[in-house]
Structure 1
């Protein structure tokens, strides 16, 4: 379904009645609203106290700096390493950079969920928190949003580095291909108002802004899988959680292929494929590789649909976590 909606959004059919909103504007305003909402949650609710402690725990652990350094190192190295892609080095660089940030953010969220939820339950630390005026549901919500904020911080820092090097990489490849040189700064090429303003295709800023929808989709996928990881961590230890999330990640990206390749004359195979596609998240909806390879920009309509799908599945994962943790023996 999302593939058809993406095609409609790309053609402008979903927003034909009004001028389309620029996707980078949606991402920037959405990020600002999200950050303000998380800050209000952290300081105005009881669960926010747990969320703040979880963010500090996620940032202070060595794996945060390790993953952030790894992402930055790969992005910097890919800036100068030739891809031999016949003039599409910038697209390959963008694709590799988005994949790097996705993997690093997912590893951080799953690792933090295992440490912050599973280990605290096994080590009886959760009993200390729940002895205070904090319910089990507030505990789960606080842990979940704290893990999301820790991974969001990694995405923002790595995304800023990626944005800067994409800005530089586009001009570097443009010059190396013999097309001349581009101006370093072209502030008139884009409008920050919530309207679609034509930009020169051969612009550093236009190329850099293409990664913002990809970063937004990465955040949505991370948020969704974090909810699944937290639900699993309420009952299972770290190793099982990591393996389960890895399996869900792989199968979630293959569900469209499984459904399409299911043999029509094999009822059982078709049933299993549709069952997996229904229960497991369709993570391929958040994949931007095809758009990057074809040089297209993800429409704002598609970002909105993906956000609704992400929120619905994350809420379902949280409800499952409530059920699993409600009768969990902490003594």
Structure 2
């Protein structure tokens, strides 16, 4: 609620908010947005009834597959929107028209980023509701298939509530990669943007392994491992597979720490976007 309130306050209370609202409206009209929403819901529905042959752990598999699906489609929306709303506008000289009005380059970049976050939120709200309902149903479905006593609504709620921190962490991960995509979009087109963001996503989730590699005696390997783990985002922070596999809730202190880390990395990425866009020739 705090995030939604902050985004609305920026959108309707600042000059950059005009850019943010326009970005969100344009992104929601794109086929990619609705294709992502539809694809996510279809995959969630398939995973609900698809047997995973996981020896009674189908619910955990549904949770993991669901969060991964929401994450990937959210990243696609964020990257696509960043490229179409920044890179394409720069190439099409639309950005020059906007900046001829009383809007600074920093307001332009920040407005675009806020618009992207709003678009991701508009995507995540409906799919998260569907995801929660399917988890609620899946608890009873698995009990019925196993000839166990059908759990009551109150008994099903803990499994649904467990996913809310996961959805928050997913949004934070998309927000980080969205900020990186915005910085890249100030200089490079969509294809290159995707080609850079995908390795960052993969390597970012391998940060713990890179840190372990840093213990290797070869100095060059250790140096490169530490450098990559420092420069690239540690996306492993936002993976709740361990919590799902053990059936535990993500502690509030962990969620707060991950949020602080995400805010710091987002701020650094947007600052980089300011620097890259400041001397970009728009003519």
Please state which band the TM-score falls in when normalised by the shorter chain.
over 0.9
Contact 1:171/1:181, CA 8 A, preserved across alignment: yes
Superposed displacement of residue 114, structure 1? 0.6
With the length of structure 2 as denominator, give the TM-score of the two structures. 0.98
1:224-274: CA deviations, max 9, x gaps?
A: 111000000001111111110001101111121012034521000000000
Segments of structure 2 that go 5 or more residues without pairing to the other structure are none
1:123 and 2:83 correspond: no
Contact 1:262/1:273, CA 8 A, preserved across alignment: yes
| Equivalent residue, structure 2, for 1:161 | 130
Count of residue pairs brought into register by the alignment: 283
* Among candidates 66, 73, 85, match of residue 97 of structure 1: 66
With the length of structure 1 as denominator, give the TM-score of the two structures. 0.84
Contact 2:139/2:151, CA 8 A, preserved across alignment: no
| Equivalent residue, structure 1, for 2:139 | 170
Taking the aligned partners of 1:221 and 1:104, their CA distance within structure 2 comes to 12
Contact 2:172/2:259, CA 8 A, preserved across alignment: yes
| Equivalent residue, structure 1, for 2:111 | 142
1:34-85: CA deviations, max 9, x gaps?
A: 1112111111100000000000111110000101000000101111111111
* Among candidates 257, 261, 267, match of residue 209 of structure 2: 257
* Among candidates 221, 241, 245, match of residue 293 of structure 1: 245
Tell me which of the two structures has the higher relative contact order, counting C-alpha pairs closer than 8 angstroms and 6 or more residues apart: 1
* Among candidates 269, 274, 282, match of residue 317 of structure 1: 269
Following superposition of structure 1 onto structure 2, how do residues 120-269 of structure 1 map, counting pairs within 5 Å?
120-183=89-152, 185-186=153-154, 203-262=155-214, 264-269=216-221
Contact 1:126/1:330, CA 8 A, preserved across alignment: yes
Q: Give the aligned CA root-mean-square deviation in angstroms.
A: 0.9
4+ residue runs over 4 A deviation: none
